[in-house]
Each structure stands twice: as C-alpha cells, then as structure tokens.
Structure 1
C-alpha cells in the first residue's frame, strides 16, 4: 500500500517531465499537495490511527464507567425505594399498634373509673347508713334522757314505747 502511494506521488512528475510544457502552476501545486499528503500518510498514518484508536478506547471506557455509575445509581434508587416502602409499612404498623394501645388504655381507664365510682358510691352509702344510725342513736339517747331523767313527767311504758318508735322512724 505504501508503494502505491509512492508510485502515485512519482507518476505526476514523470508525466510533467515528459510533456515539456512549463508554466502550469495548478498542476504542480496539486502534485505537491498529493506528495505532501502521501508523505504525511506514510510517516504519520500509524501514529494518527493509534491516536484515534486510543481516543476511541478512552471514550468507550468513559462510557462504560458512566454506564456502571448509572447502574449503581439505579440499584441504589431501588434499594432506597425498598427502604422507603419498608419504613412506610413499619410506620403504619406503629400507628396501628398505637391506636390499639390507646383503645386498650382507654378501656382500662373506663373500667378503673367505673370501679372507683362504684367504690365511692358504696362508701357514701355506708357512710350515710352509719350517720343515720349515729343520728338515730343520738335521738334515742336524747329522748331517753328527756323521758327518764326528768321527774316532772310521768309516762307509762306504752306511751314511752310509742314515742320512741315515732322518733326512730
């Protein structure tokens, strides 16, 4: 292939030398350009190809790194979404448990309050009964003192019993 370029570079000079016409500037410039391009290609083609091959490999490796980062980002996103769903599920379970506990605590408070109220009512009723008995005793004692210890009034046992019964009721 290199021999073909050399041959192509030399043929125009041979043709010009054979024709003998002189002063055509465009042909000479074209021939010079072709020779220059052939020399550049001959000496620098491998290096230019290597530069472009290296650049192609660099771009491919950069693209591969970007693809890897993209895949890692997608995996991280999926993991984060799973974690978010798990957190939502745990939060809903916590809320549900809190509602259940609140209901249970409210039931316990209602039951405790009901029991305390029943105890207070029972205590009040017992206190009322005790006070009633105490007042009845004091009234009976007062009547008895009045009747028994006063000498001025003489009553029969029947009148005394009836008056006691009236005062007690």
Structure 2
C-alpha cells in the first residue's frame, strides 16, 4: 500500500491535460519482464564467473600459503645447516689447532734428532780428521826419519819421537 502511494505522484506528473497516462504501467511491466529475462540468461553465467573468480583467488591464496610454508621450511633448513656448519667450523678450528700443536711437536722432535745426529756426525768427522792428521804426521816423520841417512836413530828414540808427536 505504501508503495502505491509512492507511485501516485509519478502518475500525476505523467498525465497530459489532466488525463492520466497509464503508459508507465506498461513500461514498468516491460522493464520487469526485461529484468527477469536478463536475470534468467545472465544470472547463472555471472554466478559461475563469480564462483570461478572466488575459486581462482582461493587457489592462488592456497598456492601463496604453500609457497610461504615452503619458504619457511627452507629457511629453517638453512638455519639448521648454518648452525651445523658453525659447529663443524668450530670443530675444524679445534682439530686444526690440535694438529698444528702435534705437528709443531713432531717438527721440534725431528729437528732436535737431526741436530743431535749432525753433532754426532760432526764429532765423528772431527775425530776421524784428528786421527788422519796424526797418521799423516806419523807417516811423514817416519818417512823423514828413514829416508835421511845422516840421522841415525835407534828404535827406542824413534818410538819416543812418535809418542811426542802423537801426544
């Protein structure tokens, strides 16, 4: 009833020369029919398009969530690997320090052994050189003593001479 009261002024304005023109009723009925036909043909495709759009958005959101979860998982894996690498690096450093210490001690032992061997070799060579020098001196003295006819030396004197030269 209230709706009819709302349409009454439209009817009054639409009348020509005081005679009401009821053309508005036909136009309204035509519009309602047109809207109904339009709704009948377009409603389902629009609904389907809307549902498809919603499903596409949901699918993209699901994919985005999955990508975010995958990225978070990879980030956590990377952090775990980084922590493991830090622990391994610390272990490598400690192992390197221990190995360097052991290697240093081995080098020191080997060097001390080599020095000791060189010193012993030097002492042996020095002793050999001294003996060789004594032998050459004795041989020289003996050669001189036996080759010189002017010098007559007894055996005892010769032994005394050799003892003096050697000592």
Unpaired runs of 5+ residues, structure 1, are 1-7
Unpaired runs of 5+ residues, structure 2, are none
In the alignment, the residues of structure 2 paired with residue 138 and residue 42 of structure 1 have an alpha-carbon distance, to the nearest angstrom, of 136
Task: Provide closer, same or farther for how the CA distance between residues 163 and 21 of structure 1 changes in structure 2, counting only shifts above 3 A.
Answer: closer
- From 15, 18, 22, give the equivalent of 1:22: 15
Deviates more, 1:98-107 or 1:63-72: 98-107
Alignment of 1:90-169 (within 5 A): 90-155=88-153, 160=158, 162-169=160-167
1:19-44, Cα deviation, whole Å (9 max, x unpaired): 7961599xx49x84984796378636
Task: Provide closer, same or farther for how the CA distance between residues 59 and 36 of structure 1 changes in structure 2, counting only shifts above 3 A.
Answer: farther
Relative contact order (C-alpha < 8 Å, sep 6+): which is higher?
Answer: 1
Computed over aligned residues only, the root mean square deviation of the Cα atoms, in angstroms, reads 4.0
Q: CA deviation at 1:149?
A: 4.9
In the alignment, the residues of structure 1 paired with residue 14 and residue 151 of structure 2 have an alpha-carbon distance, to the nearest angstrom, of 183
1:76-111, Cα deviation, whole Å (9 max, x unpaired): 111122122223332332343233323322322222
Q: Which residue of 2 aligns with 1:81?
A: 79
Q: Which residue of 2 aligns with 1:58?
A: 56
* Alignment pair present for 1:39 and 2:45: no
Task: Provide closer, same or farther for how the CA distance between residues 165 and 84 of structure 1 changes in structure 2, counting only shifts above 3 A.
Answer: same
The alignment of Structure 1 onto Structure 2 pairs a total of residues equal to: 155
In the alignment, the residues of structure 1 paired with residue 145 and residue 78 of structure 2 have an alpha-carbon distance, to the nearest angstrom, of 98
Q: What TM-score do the two structures reach when normalised by structure 1?
A: 0.65
